């Protein structure tokens, strides 16, 4: 991990770091259009920070390939790179304080407070330092604050912009802290941490939010009907929001749960009413969950859903010169890719196209395995059940031998050269890779330098290769809220 041997504030005021990085040839020439403007501190009334959690470069590629082939259009992220919009593109070092491989809590905290912290903590230093968060800073500057996620609202990435907690797993405590900090727009899952019947302490956080002037939305209909003139708490699932591949199939999810793009549009509509501006973090969280589970359809279609949210932000920022947009991920995860298969790799496109018929995620399949286990079968699904459920969910017929490998993974008796790939998700993904061509290197986060794009005031100040913590300083400086960052 590199030290911070230069002044980040000086770089933000002068753009010197960008010149240094480019002049040294550290990352080669930028592929972005030549910058035609020079921003100044305070130019960004609004800051929008988009995070596709756990997006490896292969994930970004697969989503674009699928969207082109299945829907006839490139992703908005790739179209940004092909556009004549003035934008920045580079790479970012996301290491945490104690590892070159970060977790989401440390990653989000690096942006949320400008410090590298240990994995597992949320804006909380190794000696119990509590760092003031970006949402607190914008709130104290009378700007709007918003967090939108497809995970539980109490999960690591949204918390990294607004919460101080020694351990990310303290989600009941995180929910209470949200009720105390008064942010304007909060949307995601996590009912189990707000509802009195689901919390161990019986505390009714919905009542507390209501008493503090919030409108509560629990369904898409309630969100659409909610007043724009109050603070909003939208909680749309007991845990995380459903995978897009499941939502695309099940009408009750379509009717009851808003998409990330719909939540993004609602948040922008509300926050833009603040004449002083706002900060908004938008997280496509389940990309990461699907990558952990080696679920190709879960991952790719949630990445495409995240791309729909990018379009909402692009539409909002078009024609404006007061909005800094940062588009990135917090780390790679499992590094998936479409393999070259068949003579001259000619089988790969048709194999990838089998994904278009997938009805459900791996998560849905696991629930179905449990439902269909016959009495006396123990805690493991039978081979015929595995074959039938996999065929229904993916419209792919696997063999008896392949189903047996999956059963052995459930039993914990499957052996692989890399033990990380002995779990059910890894084995199921490996079996399906024989048909869809998509394979993963593991089931955990990776140390990749991550994709970073930006546009609007301040994007001209980002170097081609940047340390994660510098984005905190960039946001604070460009929004003109540095004086509120102390304390």
Residue ranges per domain, the chain?
8-335+445-484, 342-439
pTM over 0.85: yes
Angle at the Cα of 89 from the Cα atoms of 86 and 93, rounded to 5 degrees: 150
User: How far is Cα of residue 285 from the mean position of the Cα atoms in its chain?
Assistant: 4
Helices (H), 182-282: 205-211, 220-225, 244-247, 251-256, 260-271
In degrees, rounded to 5, the angle at the alpha carbon of residue 365 between the alpha carbons of residues 68 and 58 is 35
DSSP run (H or E) holding 106 = helix 104-113
Compute the distance between CA of residue 371 and CA of residue 178 in angstroms, rounded to an integer.
Answer: 36
- Geometric angle at alpha carbon 429, from 424 and 432, rounded to 5°: 125
d(CA 420, CA 252): 36
For residue 178, give the 3-state DSSP assignment. helix
474, 11 contact by CB (below 8 A): no
Residue tagged 């439902």 (tokens) = 371
CA–CA distance, 348 with 217 (Å, rounded to integer): 44
Question: Angle at the Cα of 371 (from 378 to 369), degrees rounded to 5?
Answer: 70
Show pLDDT as tens, one digit a residue, over the chain (487 residues). Answer: 334 333 444 444 445 344 333 333 333 334 445 456 799 999 999 999 999 999 999 999 999 999 999 999 999 999 999 999 999 999 999 999 999 999 999 999 999 999 999 999 999 999 999 999 999 999 999 999 999 999 999 999 999 999 999 999 999 999 999 999 999 999 999 999 999 999 999 999 999 999 999 999 999 999 999 988 899 999 999 999 999 999 999 999 999 999 999 999 999 999 999 999 999 999 999 999 999 999 999 999 999 999 999 999 999 999 999 999 999 999 999 999 999 999 999 999 999 999 999 999 999 999 999 998 876 666 889 999 999 999 999 999 999 999 999 999 999 999 999 999 999 999 999 999 999 999 999 999 999 999 999 999 999 999 999 999 999 999 999 999 999 998 6
Q: Under CATH, which number does the domain 8-335+445-484 receive? A: 3.40.720.10
Per DSSP, what are the bridge partners of residue 50? 282, 327
Angle between helices 400-411 and 383-394 (to 10 degrees): 110
Strands (E), 192-348: 214-217, 231-235, 278-284, 323-328, 332-333, 337-338
Give CA separation, 297 vs 104, 245, 255, 348, 430, in Å.
22, 7, 21, 16, 14
What span, in angstroms and rounded, lies between the C-alpha atoms of 25 and 27? 6
Across the beta sheet with 323-328, the strand order is 214-217, 231-235, 185-189, 144-152, 278-284, 46-52, 323-328, 450-455, 87-93, 465-467
Rounded CA separation 413/340 (Å): 30
Q: Are 174 and 193 in contact (CB under 8 A)?
A: yes
Distance between CA atoms of 339 and 344, rounded to whole angstroms?
A: 12
**C-alpha distances in Å from residue 361, one per residue of 206, 243, 285, 354:** 31, 7, 15, 14
pLDDT of amino acid 18: 41
Structure tokens at 263: 């939540």
What's the DSSP call for residue 230? S
Query: Which H or E element spans position 312?
Result: helix 296-317
Angle between helices 424-436 and 383-394 (to 10 degrees): 50
Report the pLDDT value the prediction gives residue 377, as an integer from 0 to 100.
Answer: 60
Of 194, 277, 212, 273, nearest to 481 (Cα)? 277
Contact 100, 468 (CB under 8 A): no
How far is Cα 476 from Cα 132, in angstroms, rounded to an integer? 12
What is the predicted pLDDT for the residue at 486? 84
Task: Give the C-alpha separation, 421 to 441, whole Å.
Answer: 8
Task: Give pLDDT, residue 373.
Answer: 81
3-state secondary structure of 48: strand
Instruction: Return the closest-CA partner of residue 410 out of 399, 394, 420, 423.
Output: 423
- Whether residue 161 contacts residue 112, with contact meaning beta carbons closer than 8 Å, is answered with yes
* Element containing residue 466 per DSSP (H, E): strand 465-467
């Amino acid at each position: 991990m590199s030290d911070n041997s230069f002044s980040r504030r000086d770089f933000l005021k002068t753009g010197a770091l960008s010149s240094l990085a480019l002049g040294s040839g550290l990352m080669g020439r930028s592929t972005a259009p030549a910058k035609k403007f020079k921003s100044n501190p305070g130019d960004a009334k609004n800051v929008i920070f988009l995070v596709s959690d756990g997006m490896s470069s292969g994930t970004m590629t697969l989503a674009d390939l699928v969207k082109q082939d299945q829907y006839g259009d490139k992703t908005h992220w790739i179209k940004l790179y092909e556009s004549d919009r003035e934008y920045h593109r580079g790479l970012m070092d996301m290491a945490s304080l104690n590892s070159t491989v970060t977790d989401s809590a440390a990653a989000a905290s690096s942006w949320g407070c400008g410090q590298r912290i240990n994995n597992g903590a949320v804006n909380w230093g190794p000696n119990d330092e509590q760092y003031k968060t970006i949402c607190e800073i914008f709130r104290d500057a009378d700007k709007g604050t918003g967090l939108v996620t497809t995970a539980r609202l109490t999960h690591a990435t949204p918390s990294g912009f607004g919460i101080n907690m020694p351990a990310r797993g303290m989600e009941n405590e995180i929910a209470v802290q949200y009720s105390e900090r008064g942010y304007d727009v909060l949307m995601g899952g996590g009912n189990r941490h707000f509802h009195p019947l689901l919390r161990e302490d019986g505390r009714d956080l919905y009542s507390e939010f209501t008493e503090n002037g919030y409108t509560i939305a629990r369904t898409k209909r309630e969100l659409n009907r909610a007043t724009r003139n109050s603070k909003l708490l939208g909680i749309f699932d007991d845990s995380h929001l459903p995978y897009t591949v499941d939502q695309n199939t099940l009408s009750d999810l379509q009717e009851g749960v808003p998409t990330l793009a719909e939540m993004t549009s609602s948040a922008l509509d509300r926050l833009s009413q603040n004449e002083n501006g706002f900060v908004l973090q938008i997280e496509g969280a389940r990309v990461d969950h699907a990558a952990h589970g080696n679920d190709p359809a879960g991952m790719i279609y949630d990445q495409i859903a995240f791309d729909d949210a990018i379009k909402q932000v692009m539409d909002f920022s078009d024609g404006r010169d007061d909005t800094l947009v940062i588009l990135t991920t917090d780390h790679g995860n499992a590094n998936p890719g479409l393999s070259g298969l068949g003579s001259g790799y000619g089988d790969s496109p048709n194999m990838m196209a089998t994904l278009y018929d997938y009805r459900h995620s791996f998560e849905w399949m696991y629930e179905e395995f449990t439902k269909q286990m016959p009495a006396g079968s123990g805690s493991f699904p039978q081979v015929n059940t595995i074959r039938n459920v996999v065929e229904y969910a993916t419209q792919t017929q696997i063999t008896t031998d392949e189903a047996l490998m999956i059963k052995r993974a459930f039993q914990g008796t499957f052996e692989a050269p890399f033990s990380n790939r002995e779990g059910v998700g890894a084995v199921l993904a490996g079996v399906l890779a024989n048909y869809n061509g998509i394979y993963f290197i593991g089931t955990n986060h990776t140390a990749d330098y991550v994709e970073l794009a930006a546009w609007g005031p301040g994007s001209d100040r980002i170097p081609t290769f940047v340390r994660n913590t510098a984005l905190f300083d960039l946001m604070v400086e460009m929004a003109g809220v540095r004086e509120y960052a102390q304390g």
